[in-house]
Structure 1
Amino acid sequence: MNKIVVFCGSSLGFHPRYKEAAIDLGNYFVENNIGLVYGGGKIGMMGVLSSTILERNGEVIGVIPKLLEKEEVIHPGVEEMIVCKTMSERKVLMSKLVDGYITLPGGFGTLDELFEALTLRQLQIEQKPIGLLNVNGFFDAILLQLDKMVAEGYLKQSNRNLLLVGDSITSLMDQMHSYVAPERNPIIHKIVS
């Protein structure tokens, strides 16, 4: 994988393990020549992740909507910063730049980005691996909810399986590197094409 988009929070959260995970992932990217595409911020998890990579001369591309392009938010050290009009356009641009997705802890925006990627994968518009780094059990309740959706008939198990989950970077990256997209369903593909 050459480039991966990382969805994560503009806050650090309360547990130090979240910040450590952002640093560890940044170091992993540099050591494995993986470029980061992210939301362009200098604050929270986004800031820690991007700064870790920049400090080691790794590749970082920021994609930020015009409404967030404020001095207190935008990362001044990111040389390749793409400013777009809307949050929706941001997600489309990110998708075009990357080979896969990883989600770290975050809030509404992070979950919005994750679930849009999963929806596009379910509809076979996307074929890229979508990973969730379950730091400190942060996503346990969401994973239980997905299982509940399967049990109640709202989500197919095959679509639930599209989300790759790892408690460590290496376990998640091993899954992402070995990921083979399921064959396209010709009926779904025809509907959304």
Structure 2
Amino acid sequence: MGEPRMAMRMVAAIGALAALAACSTQVEAPVDSLTVARVMGQDVAVPPLLPIAGSVWPAQEPPRGTIGNPNAGLMPWDETASQIQQSQPLVAPPVVPGRRGSSTPPDLLAQPEPTPALRQPDMPPYPTEPARPRRRTDGRVIPTPQGPAVTTGGTGSYSTYTNPGGGSGIAIPQGGTTTLLDADGTVRQVPTPR
């Protein structure tokens, strides 16, 4: 029994050595690299970084128009158009007396009578189902091993309850079971009452 295991170990060891030999091929770093030359301790002549000759900043922007000087930055052909506009006096449009109280034009206020072909027949209102009464969440009894707990309010997804001994908590119905979270931190699961 010991010999087959020993043979398997030797085969595994020979395979591991063969794999290690395949991984141990020597790779030479590129000799012309500055980093390799520095690591190898060779003196490397690197020219220093110098500023670029000339101005690298953009030219100054022309002045922009403002409220105080609207013609600033205009081209010569724009200035003449602006001067023509400024030379003409501003005259308010004539005020036309009209109806007060609405900014809607009168032609839009008058609605034409619908043609008989487009008039909808008088139909009774759409029948609606009466609203279902909400299920009561207070006064339900939840049987527990300590005695019946009685719900005191809540919604459809939870209820508050009072224990027979006077403690209170929150009841969360979850299908066939109800989780009871007591005020003292106790958590219990009981069957959901039907």
Taking structure 1 as the reference length, the TM-score comes to 0.17
Taking structure 2 as the reference length, the TM-score comes to 0.17
Bigger-Rg structure (1/2): 2
For CA contacts below 8 A with separation 6 or more, give which structure has more relative contact order: 1
